[in-house]
A and B are shown apart, each in its own frame.
Chain A
Amino acid sequence: DTAVSQTPKYLVTQMGNDKSIKCEQNLGHDTMYWYKQDSKKFLKIMFSYNNKELIINETVPNRFSPKSPDKAHLNLHINSLELGDSAVYFCASSQDETGPRGYTFGSGTRLTVV
């Protein structure tokens, strides 16, 4: 029974296209996140959502937009894809304020823009 699931696992698309990555968690956590892991394996936060409110938004291009239909889902929409968007995108969730276990991560979506 997967705790944090992302789809698709692999995504290959052409420059200029619009794509979405879906994420769902069944842990009952309050907060969900999107992280980007670049070719150097460095994990950087992009967004987080707590009770449907965006609470972190780092310097991410406007082409990226998170959408949360409910507490268990946080989808990532990307418009006008660029070559530099190629990376692995991880969804994660956490129990807000409490929980010594930090995040629970999904298995990642490898996005390749050609």
Chain B
Amino acid sequence: EDQVTQSPEALRLQEGESSSLNCSYTVSGLRGLFWYRQDPGKGPEFLFTLYSAGEEKEKERLKATLTKKESFLHITAPKPEDSATYLCAVDSGAGSYQLTFGKGTKLSVIP
């Protein structure tokens, strides 16, 4: 059974204070690892897909990296608008996407 564990559960940062979120996973065969952002009262919004170890993706202040056992979401010089819950999910199924989600990391960036 696929498992996704995210840490920490919650993270408070001062504006400009860089940090990383962790997503460790156990799957039979990784077809893709996804990062989503979820704002209160809204559905998750796609950020990145990573397919193989060593791959990196960047978007503004966010950078996602992937190893064989975990993924990191690095946040550089965060701003208050980066506050949200960040969800990690893996797809290991044959056929249609069958995403297994972690419980998320709630990020709060304080001005």
Interface residues of A (CB under 8 A from B): 4, 30-31, 40-45, 48, 50, 55-56, 90, 92, 94, 96-97, 100-108
Known pairs A41-B85, A41-B104, A43-B101; A108 contacts B96 (CB<8 A): no
Query: Do B44 and A94 touch across chains, with their CB atoms under 8 A apart?
Result: no
Question: A101, B49: Cβ atoms under 8 Å?
Answer: yes
In the complex, residue of chain A having the shortest beta-carbon distance to the beta carbon of B43 = A105
Q: How many residues of B contact A (CB 8 A)?
A: 24
CB-CB nearest in chain A for B42 = A107
Cβ-defined contact, A43 with B44, below 8 A: yes
Find out whether the CB atom of B32 lies under 8 angstroms from the CB atom of A102.
Answer: yes
Q: Interface with A: B14-22, B58-66, B87-95, which one? A: B87-95
**Are A104 and B46 interface neighbours, CB within 8 A?**
yes
Query: Does B103 belong to the interface (CB within 8 Å)?
Result: yes
Chain B contacts with A in 79-109, Cβ cutoff 8 A: 85, 87, 89, 91, 95-101, 103-104
Please, which residues of chain B bring their CB within 8 A of the CB of A105?
43-45
A102: chain B residues at CB < 8 Å are: 32, 34, 36, 46, 49, 89, 91, 97, 99
**Smallest Cβ-Cβ distance to A44: which chain B residue:** B101
Give CA–CA (A107, B89) in the complex, Å: 18
- Docked pose: A100 CA to B64 CA in angstroms: 15
In angstroms, Cα B78 to Cα A14, docked, is 43
Residue in B43, B97, B104 whose beta carbon sits within 8 Å of that of A90 in the complex: B43
User: Which residues on B sit within 8 Å (CB–CB) of A96?
Assistant: 95-97
Q: Which residues of A contact B97 (CB under 8 A)?
A: 31, 94, 96, 102-103
